[in-house]
């Protein structure tokens, strides 16, 4: 088994090596959500809101949205009223924050809101509560086309994210693009490689048995290439998120998506 | 209180076979995993699930550590009369949750 995997990786490295400099972005017409790579069974889980375990987190998020358990006694709903006001928000994040002078993702926006307007402590990355709130907010944009990255102020950060995407790193010396641009139609150890279109985050991964953020996915990939992953919330991860969302512009939000 | 999702058809014809789907939020910690410092993470799973149709038990299942988080249990029954389905999940650490759904049989 181990031997076979070594061969598979070696073959991939050879294939990637040839086209390394010629890595091209996926043409608009050939873009596909990770959903289209899934088995009919897994698609059925995502398509049925009473079978999609991500919906459990959305329900948890709804409770948190209406909870005023913080020093100001003000719930999210206290300022934003109906959650319908959040429609379209997830489609344009990561967005530029004027005060910080850089892009922040939806999780960071929620935590800034908690600190500034609720005088509450920020929720830790990947905590159930932060994922649930993010999923609840993002679910409001379900079906809406992604617009992230169109703000001109974001251009330098999209460019940085693109550089990171093309940058080889780790012991396997792989860039994101070596798999997700050059070999997305192939398989790695039996799994579809896919195009890295972040249409459904936070999403429920069957392997994780829980909801997870795009940053968790990115860190997983980096560990897979045996690189040192960036810390949660690191500017590099946000820039990567931003680039990935901008390459998926126009594709519909699927949150909470299900992936194998 | 943990979230649960229940899918029971609102209406059915008498004698029709209906599908019931239940999804319960639970971590299903196996009891076999260890922390970074080597201590065992105590088992925390749902151990039993039951469904009653107008008070009569029609389905029961025992759950074990090999079952994934957020157990999704589906089963079928014959719609005999209008009324109520009651669901009950019992587990470790005093876990006990109930949910219900109504059906109109014509």
In this structure, what CATH number is given to the domain that contains residue A208?
1.10.760.10
Query: What number is the average pLDDT over the span A120-145?
Result: 97
Buried b (16+ CB within 10 A) or exposed e, A16-32: beeebeebeebeeeebe
Domain boundary among A72, A107, A139: A139
Q: Is residue A6 part of a domain?
A: yes
What distance in Å separates the CA atoms of residue B63 and residue B59, rounded to the nearest whole number? 13
Q: Which distant-in-sequence residues (6+ apart) come within 8 Å of B26 by Cβ?
A: B2, B45, B46, B69, B70, B71, B89, B91, B95
A32-35: which pairs have CB atoms within 8 A and are 24 or more residues apart?
Answer: A32/A194, A32/A195, A32/A197, A33/A197, A33/A199, A33/A200, A33/A251, A33/A252, A33/A254, A34/A194, A34/A195, A34/A197, A34/A199, A34/A200, A34/A257, A34/A259, A35/A199, A35/A200, A35/A254, A35/A257
Structural domains of chain B sorted by starting position, each given as residue range(s) with its CATH number in brackets: 4-105 (2.60.40.10)
Amino acid B2: pLDDT: 80
Per CB-CB distance under 8 Å, the chain A contacts of B3 are 56-57, 59-60
Residue A106 domain flag: yes
Across chain A, mean pLDDT equals 91
Encoding tokens for residue A27?
């043409």
Residue A23 lies inside a defined structural domain of this protein: no
Q: What's the confidence (pLDDT) of residue A25?
A: 79
The pLDDT of residue A50 is above 60: yes
Active site (annotated) includes residue A79 = no
Looking at residue A81, its pLDDT comes to 87
Q: Which of A75, A107, A139 is the last residue of a domain?
A: A139
Choose the closest CB to A55 out of B5, B68, B69: B5
Per-state percent for chain A, helix, strand, coil, to nearest 5 = 50, 10, 45
In a shared domain, residues A78 and A11: no
At A37, is the pLDDT very low, low, confident or very high (cuts 50, 70, 90)?
very high
Q: What is the pLDDT confidence band of residue A23, given thresholds at 50, 70 and 90? A: low
Q: Is A59–B72 a contact, with Cβ atoms under 8 angstroms apart?
A: no
The DSSP output letter for A255 is S
Q: Across residues A210-235, what is the average pLDDT? A: 97
Do A45 and A157 fall within a single domain? yes
Q: Are residues A233 and A195 in the same domain?
A: yes
Residue A25 lies in a domain: no
Q: Please give the residue range of the domain that contains residue A181.
A: 2-15+38-49+153-247+255-259
Q: What is the pLDDT of residue A88?
A: 96
3-state secondary structure (DSSP) of residue A178: helix
Specify whether A71 is located in the same domain as A135.
Answer: yes
Dist CA B69 CA B52 (whole Å): 23
| CB pair distance less than 8 Å for B23 and A56 | yes
The pLDDT of residue A18 is above 70 = no
Same structural domain, A159 and A209: yes
Q: Percent of chain B scored above 90 by pLDDT?
A: 97
Identify which of A48, A49, A53 has the shortest CB distance to residue B70: A53
Contact across the interface for A50 and B28, Cβ inside 8 Å: no
Whether residue A42 is found in the same domain as residue A170: yes
Is residue A77 included in any domain, yes or no? yes
A interface residues, B as partner, C-beta within 8 Å:
48-51, 53, 55-57, 59-60, 206, 209-210
- The whole-number pLDDT of residue A46 equals 97
ipTM over 0.85: yes
- A133 and A157 both lie in a single domain: no
Is the confidence at residue A167, as pLDDT, over 90? yes
SS3 B89: strand
Q: What is residue A138's predicted lDDT score, i.e. its pLDDT?
A: 98
Q: pLDDT truncated to tens, each residue of chain B (106 aa)?
A: 688 999 999 999 999 999 999 999 999 999 999 999 999 999 999 999 999 999 999 999 999 999 999 999 999 999 999 999 999 999 999 999 999 999 999 9
Into how many domains does chain A fold? 2
In a domain, A31, yes or no: no
Q: Tell me if A147 is assigned to some domain.
A: no
Do A157 and A239 share a domain, yes or no? yes
Contact B6 A53 (CB under 8 A): no
Report the pLDDT value the prediction gives residue A21, as an integer from 0 to 100.
41
Both A118 and A96 in a single domain? yes
What are the E-state strand segments in chain B?
4-7, 11-12, 17-24, 46-53, 56-62, 72-78, 83-91, 96-105
Residues A45 and A158 reside in one and the same domain:
yes
Query: B52 has which bridge partners?
Result: B57, B86
**pLDDT, average across residues A65-91:** 93
Supply B8's token pair. 């029971």
Same domain, A61 and A115: yes
Which residues, in sequence order, are CB contacts of A237 under 8 Å at separation 6+? A215, A218, A219, A230, A231
The H-or-E segment that residue B106 falls in is none
Alpha helices (runs of H) in B1-106, residue ranges in sequence order: none
pLDDT of A24 reads: 66
Of A110, A139, A168, which closes a domain?
Answer: A139
pLDDT band at A14 (very low <50, low <70, confident <90, very high): very low
Closest Cα in chain A to B74: A51
Same domain for A158 and A42? yes
Q: Is residue A28 domain-resident?
A: no
């Amino acid at each position: 088994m181990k031997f076979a995997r070594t061969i598979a990786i070696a073959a991939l490295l050879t294939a990637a090596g040839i086209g390394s400099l010629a890595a091209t972005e996926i043409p608009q017409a050939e873009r596909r959500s990770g959903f289209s790579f899934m088995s009919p069974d897994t698609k059925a889980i995502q398509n049925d809101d009473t079978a999609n375990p991500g919906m459990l987190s959305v329900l948890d998020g709804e409770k948190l949205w209406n909870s005023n358990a913080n020093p100001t006694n003000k719930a999210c709903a206290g300022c934003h009223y109906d959650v319908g006001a959040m429609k379209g928000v997830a489609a344009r994040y990561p967005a530029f924050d004027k005060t910080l002078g850089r892009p922040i993702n939806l999780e960071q926006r929620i935590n800034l809101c908690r600190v500034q307007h609720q005088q509450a402590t920020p929720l830790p990355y990947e905590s159930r509560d932060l994922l649930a709130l993010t999923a609840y907010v993002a679910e409001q944009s379900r079906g809406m086309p992604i617009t992230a990255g169109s703000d001109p102020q974001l251009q330098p950060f999209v460019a940085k994210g693109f550089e990171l995407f093309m940058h080889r790193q780790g012991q396997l010396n792989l860039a994101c693009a070596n798999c997700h641009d050059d070999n997305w139609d192939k398989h790695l150890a039996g799994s579809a490689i896919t195009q890295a279109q972040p249409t459904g985050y936070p999403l429920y991964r069957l392997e994780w048995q829980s909801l997870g953020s795009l940053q968790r996915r990115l860190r997983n990939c980096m560990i897979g290439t045996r690189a040192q992953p960036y810390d949660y919330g690191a500017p590099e991860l946000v820039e990567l998120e931003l680039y990935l969302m901008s390459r998926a512009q126009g594709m519909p939000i699927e949150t909470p998506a299900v992936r194998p | 209180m943990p979230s649960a999702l229940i899918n029971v058809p609102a209406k059915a014809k008498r004698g029709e076979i209906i599908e019931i789907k239940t999804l319960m939020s639970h971590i299903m910690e196996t009891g076999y995993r260890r922390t970074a410092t080597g201590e065992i993470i105590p088992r925390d799973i749902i151990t039993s699930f039951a469904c009653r149709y107008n008070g009569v038990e029609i389905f029961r299942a025992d759950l074990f550590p090999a079952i994934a988080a957020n157990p999704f249990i589906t089963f079928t029954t014959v719609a005999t009369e209008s009324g109520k389905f009651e669901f009950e999940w019992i587990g470790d650490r005093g876990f006990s949750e109930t949910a219900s759904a109504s059906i109109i049989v014509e």
